[in-house]
Amino acid sequence: MVEYNVRLDNSTILVTGAAGFIGSYLVKRLFQQYDGIRIIGIDSVTDYYDVQLKEHRLKEIGEMNCDWTFVRGSIAQKSLIDQLFAEHHPSVVVNLAAQAGVRYSITNPASYIESNLIGFYNILEACRHNPVEHLIYASSSSVYGSNTKIPYSTDDHVDNPVSLYAATKKSNELMAHAYSKLYNIPSTGLRFFTVYGPAGRPDMAYFGFTNKLRHGDTIEIYNYGNCQRDFTYVDDIVEGVVRVMCHAPERHTGSDGLPLPPYKVYNIGNSRPENLLDFVTILQEELIRAKVLPSDYDFESHKRLIAMQPGDVPVTFADTTPLEQDFGFKPSTPLRTGLRAFAQWYARYYGTAE
C-alpha cells in the first residue's frame, strides 16, 4: 500500500469535463467526503449527446451549496486554461474532459484532435507553469486496441490502436510521461473500462438500448453477440479516482541529474467481463422491474445480431492488480446491481414508471 501524500481537505481542485458522467459524480463525491474543499469545474457542454442531461448534472452539483465555481468553456482554449490556473491556483487537477466515443471518432476526427490532444497539451502546459501536487487524467481501455492477451495489464505494449479515439488516449499517456520527465510533474493516468450507471452517457450501449427499446425500435448487437465487456459501475470508478488523487507518484532524481518521471498508469475495471447477450438479458429484466418497459415486452422481435463494427474489439478485461496492491481497492459492483440502479434512475428521470 502506498502512503497518501496529497491532502484534499481545504484544497483547490480543478476538474475538467465536470458536466460529464464521471466528472459530475466525482465533484459530488469530493464535496461529500472532504471539508473545506474548493472545486473549479470546466466543461464546454457540447451537443455530442443530450445537453439537458449535462445541465441536470450541473444543477445537482449547484444544489449542494458548496464552494463550487463552474466555467463554461473548452480546454482547447489555451488563454482560458491559463487564466483559470493563474486565478485559482489548483493544487490537484483531474482532467476528464475529452471527446468520447470510438465510432464517432471515425466520422468526426477533428473534434478528437482539438479536445483530446490540444486540450490536454494546454492542461500540461498550465501544470508546467503553475506547479501542482498531482495531475490525474482519464485514459481508456481502448488503448489496448488489438491486443489478444487478456486480462489487459498496464505492463502490456499498447502500440496497436484500432480507432483515433484510442490513439489520442495513448498519446495522452505519452505526453504526460514526457512532461513528468522534463518538468517533474506528478501525473497518473487511469484506463477506464466501460463505465456505466445512472445519468450516464446516452451513446453507451446500455443507455442507447434502453432508449430504443422504450420507443419500440430494434437494438443491434455487434459481433453477433460474441463480445465481452468489463462493465465498471461509476461509483467504483469514482472511488478509484479519489484514492489515486491522494497519492502523487514520488519525485526522484535520476543518474543523469534529471527527474525520474513521477508517473503512473492504472487500470480501473471490474475484472469480470460479461457476455453482451447476458448483459442485454439482465438489462431487459431490470427495465421491466423498474417499469420502464411492460412485463410482456417482446424482446426477441427487437433484437438484431450484426457483424463487428470498425474500431470495436471483441473483449475488454482489466488486470487491476497494481490498483489493489497500491490502494487496496478493487471494483466489485455486480452488473445486476449497477443496471438496477440505472433502470430506477431512468424511470424517475424520464417519468416512465408513472
Q: Could you list the active site residues?
A: 165
Number of Cβ within 10 Å of residue 328's Cβ equals 10
Closest to 268 (Cα-Cα) out of 187, 160, 194, 184: 194
Number of Cβ within 10 Å of residue 37's Cβ equals 20
The stretches of the chain forming alpha helices (DSSP H) are 21-33, 51-62, 78-88, 104-107, 109-112, 120-129, 164-183, 205-214, 234-245, 276-289, 321-327, 335-350
CA 116 from chain center: how many Å? 13
C-alpha grid cell, residue 222: 455487434
Closest to 320 (Cα-Cα) out of 259, 270, 257, 246: 270
* Helix, strand, coil distribution of the chain in percent, nearest 5: 45, 15, 40
Quick one: residue 351, left, alpha or beta (phi over 0 = left, psi -120 to 50 = alpha)? left
Between the CA atoms of 144, 224, 271 and 205, what dihedral angle is there, to the nearest 10 degrees? 90
E strand or H helix that includes residue 192: strand 187-192
